[in-house]
């Protein structure tokens, strides 16, 4: 089998890691696998390919796209965040697999309708979580080609390492052993709603000064990051909040085990978070909003799931979502604060429950993910 993974770019992030894992998984199965990027936005992750010649930049050129597919006798096009020539390629006889990595809540109604029409040609559409599947089905009534949810997989072995040069410690952050450290790990973006955590910490600071917030993430959306930092500078809770940039991922397991007491991702929407799986694997209790893969984790992890900052995602325009992301206080602020304080009050019991869930969480690995994709492709 000859498979090409089609992307818009191949720079860095969870999407690229999933594509890289699939690339290696397909090759391990004895297939020929290639990555086709629509742009020249290529980062260091490309150096991890088995052969750098396995990545092809077609610069949005249909002729170059078809030429490469013909030369390498491509049979399956596996699209990620990209629909380049999808309709025409289905007519040319290629098998089309599309992985839906997000709920696409930033799209307007006409955009989501047009997007759905393009996906009608796919042999199979694969959402990465039940949240993504339910959102897309409800919004579009989509059914053509079939939908099958496959959670992303994580290489958990990397989280088992312990390093003497570990750069982030409770002491270096100014946290006491008696503090309860809540950590959010995500680049700054309106969808991740870090601004809302300032409001939560302001609510907690008087009665629960032992609860500290640590946010790990790069700028992401520069305007949103700057807005957050200005709010933080004026916040009465700023002494209980730390912000640090991402560090080398090899340290993530040690960071979660040695620094963090509670993991949180109070997002407005997302498709699937590897960080949620990583935190669960490292036996951390979690507080999540009911989006992304939160619902998929509730029965296997030590997890409190709270309502979202809005009542109905389906009724919100992208502009309304952005407005909510800029508010410190929303309809779930009190519930988030209560979840943090509740876990902090009985932390040992929540940690014990989290430890029991590690074996179940470890089944969400890259091997299992690849196996499910291979099963789909072999049924085409």
Phi and psi at 118, nearest 5°, equal: -65, -40
Mean pLDDT score, 331-338: 98
Same domain flag for 288 and 372: no
Give the percent of the chain with pLDDT over 70.
99
Full residue range of the structural domain in which residue 70 is found: 2-153+366-379
For residue 143, what pLDDT is reported? 67
For residue 144, what pLDDT is reported? 58
How many distinct structural domains can be found in the chain? 2
Same domain flag for 306 and 373: no
Model confidence pLDDT, tens digit, residues 161-216: 999 998 899 999 999 999 999 999 999 999 999 999 999 999 999 999 999 999 99
Same domain flag for 240 and 370: no
Model confidence pLDDT, tens digit, residues 111-140: 888 888 888 899 999 999 988 888 888 877
Assess whether pLDDT exceeds 70 at residue 145: no
Average pLDDT, the chain: 93
Same domain flag for 145 and 162: no
For residue 15, what pLDDT is reported? 84
What CATH number is associated with residue 356? 3.40.50.2000
Assess whether pLDDT exceeds 80 at residue 12: no
In angstroms, the CA 250 to CA 158 distance is 6
Same domain flag for 174 and 283: yes
Same domain flag for 20 and 91: yes
Same domain flag for 162 and 148: no
Instruction: Give the contacts of 210 (CB within 8 A, at least 6 positions apart).
Output: 178, 179, 180, 344
Q: Burial of 77 by CB count in 10 Å (0-12 exposed, 13-18 middle, 19+ buried)?
A: buried
Same domain flag for 200 and 98: no
Assess whether pLDDT exceeds 80 at residue 29: yes
Whole-number Cα distances in Å, 85 to 3, 117, 252, 380: 16, 13, 38, 20
**Residue burial 345-371, b: 16+ Cβ < 10 Å; e: rest:** eeeeebbeebeebeeebeebbbeebbe
Q: Which pair of structure tokens corresponds to residue 293?
A: 């893969």
Same domain flag for 29 and 114: yes
Same domain flag for 354 and 372: no
Count Cα neighbours of 222 within 13 Å in the Cβ-side half-sphere. 0
- Could you give the maximum distance between any two Cα atoms of the chain, in Å? 66
Could you give the residue ranges of the DSSP H alpha helices within the chain? Answer: 14-28, 62-71, 86-91, 109-119, 130-140, 170-173, 194-204, 222-234, 252-258, 274-281, 294-297, 318-325, 333-345, 347-356, 358-361, 366-379
Contact 71, 284 (CB under 8 A): no
Same domain flag for 126 and 171: no
Same domain flag for 179 and 139: no
């Amino acid at each position: 089998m000859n498979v090409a993974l089609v992307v818009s770019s191949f720079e860095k992030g969870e999407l690229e890691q999933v594509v890289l894992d699939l690339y290696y998984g397909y090759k391990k199965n004895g297939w020929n696998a290639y990555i086709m990027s629509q742009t020249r936005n290529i980062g260091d992750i490309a150096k991890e390919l088995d052969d750098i010649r396995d990545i092809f930049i077609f610069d949005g050129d249909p002729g170059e796209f078809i030429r490469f597919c013909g030369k390498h006798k491509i049979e399956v096009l596996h699209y990620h965040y990209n629909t380049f020539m999808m309709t025409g390629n289905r007519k040319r006889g290629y098998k089309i697999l599309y992985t839906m990595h997000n709920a696409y809540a930033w799209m307007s109604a006409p955009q989501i309708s047009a997007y759905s029409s393009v996906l009608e040609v796919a042999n199979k559409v694969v959402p990465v979580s039940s949240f993504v599947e339910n959102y897309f089905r409800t919004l579009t009534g989509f059914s053509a080609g079939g939908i099958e949810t496959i959670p992303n997989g994580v290489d958990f072995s990397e989280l088992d390492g312990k390093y003497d040069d570990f750069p982030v410690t409770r002491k270096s952050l100014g946290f006491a052993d008696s503090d309860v450290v809540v950590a959010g790990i995500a680049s700054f973006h309106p969808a991740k709603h870090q601004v809302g955590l300032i409001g939560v910490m302001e609510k907690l600071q008087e009665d629960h000064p032992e609860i500290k917030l640590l946010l790990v993430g790069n700028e992401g959306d520069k305007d949103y990051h700057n807005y957050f930092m200005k709010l933080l500078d004026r916040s009465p809770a700023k002494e209980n909040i730390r912000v640090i940039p991402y560090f080398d991922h090899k340290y993530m397991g040690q960071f979660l085990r040695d620094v963090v007491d509670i993991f949180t991702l109070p997002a407005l929407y997302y498709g699937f978070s590897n960080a949620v799986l990583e935190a669960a694997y490292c036996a951390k209790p979690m507080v999540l909003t009911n989006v992304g893969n939160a619902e998929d984790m509730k029965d296997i992890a030590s997890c409190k799931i709270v309502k979202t900052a809005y009542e109905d995602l389906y009724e919100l325009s992208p502009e309304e979502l952005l407005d909510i992301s800029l508010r410190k206080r929303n309809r779930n602020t009190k519930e988030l604060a209560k979840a943090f304080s509740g876990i902090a009050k009985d932390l040992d019991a929540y940690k014990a429950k989290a430890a029991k869930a590690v074996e179940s969480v470890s089944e969400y690995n890259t091997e299992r993910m690849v196996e499910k994709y291979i099963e789909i492709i072999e049924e085409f």
